[in-house]
Amino acid sequence: MPKTMKGPGIFLAQFVGDAAPFDTLPNIVRWAGDHGYKGVQIPSNEGKLFDLKKAAESSAYCDEVKGICADAGVEITELSTHLQGQLVAVHPAYDAQFDAFAPAAVHNKPAERQAWAVDQMLLAAKASRNLGLDTVVSFSGSLAFPYLYPWPQRPKGLLEEAFGELGRRWKPIFDAYEDHGVDVAFELHPGEDIFDGATFEMFLDAVGGHKRCTINYDPSHFLLQQLDYLAFIDIYHERITAFHVKDAEFNPDGRQGVYSGYQPWLNRAGRFRSLGDGQVDFTSIFSKLAQYDYDSWAVLEWECCLKDAEQGAAEGAPFIDGHIIRVTEKAFDDFAGGNTDRAALRKMMGIH
pLDDT tens, per residue, the chain with 352 residues: 778 999 999 999 999 999 999 999 999 999 999 999 999 999 999 999 999 999 999 999 999 999 999 999 999 999 999 999 999 999 999 999 999 999 999 999 999 999 999 999 999 999 999 999 999 999 999 999 999 999 999 999 999 999 999 999 999 999 999 999 999 999 999 999 999 999 999 999 999 999 999 999 999 999 999 999 999 999 999 999 999 999 999 999 999 999 999 999 999 999 999 999 999 999 999 999 999 999 999 999 999 999 999 999 999 999 999 999 998 777 666 666 767 788 988 989 999 8
Domain boundaries, the chain: 6-348
SS3 243: strand
Q: Is 114 helix (H, G, I), strand (E, B) or coil?
A: helix
Q: Decide: 201 and 238 in contact? Cβ < 8 Å.
A: no
| C-alpha angle 8-13-16 in degrees, rounded to nearest 5 | 110
Class of 6-348 in CATH:
alpha beta
Q: How far is the C-alpha of 27 from the C-alpha of 21, rounded, in Å?
A: 5
Distance CA 145, CA 93 (A): 10
Strand-pair category, 75-81 with 39-43: parallel
C-alpha to C-alpha distances, 68 to 32, 40, 123, 124, 313, nearest whole angstrom: 12, 12, 21, 19, 20
With vertex at residue 232, the alpha carbon angle to CA 230 and CA 235, rounded to the nearest 5 degrees, is 120
Q: Are strands 247-250 and 240-245 parallel, antiparallel or unpaired?
A: unpaired
Q: Which residues pair with 239 in a beta bridge?
A: none
